[in-house]
Amino acid sequence: MAATALPFSLEPVLPSAERHCPIRIISVHLLDAAGQLLRVLFLDREGHISSQPHYVPREEALILAANQQRVLGSQARVQVL
């Protein structure tokens, strides 16, 4: 039996899956005065900074990340992964 190529690619599926994933991780990239990365930390569900990643429901992650970015300002870059 010969191998056959599948008629579709996974690339178009990934962005859609990322948008609908109910679980996220919030990363906090601490920056120096020149904007260079010093350290990567994470937020837990209560908004506490930790060295280990924590899974957070998507809606909560977006709110926590926005609030943390306001608090830290230019000292950090907060991302929802």
Tens of each residue's pLDDT in the chain, 81 residues: 455 554 544 444 445 555 567 899 999 999 999 999 999 999 999 999 999 999 999 999 999 999 999 999 999 999 999
* Residues in Cβ contact with 32 at an 8 Å cutoff, skipping those fewer than 6 apart: 38
**Global pTM exceeds 0.95:** no
C-alpha closest to that of 25 among 69, 67, 57? 57
**3-class SS of residue 57:** strand
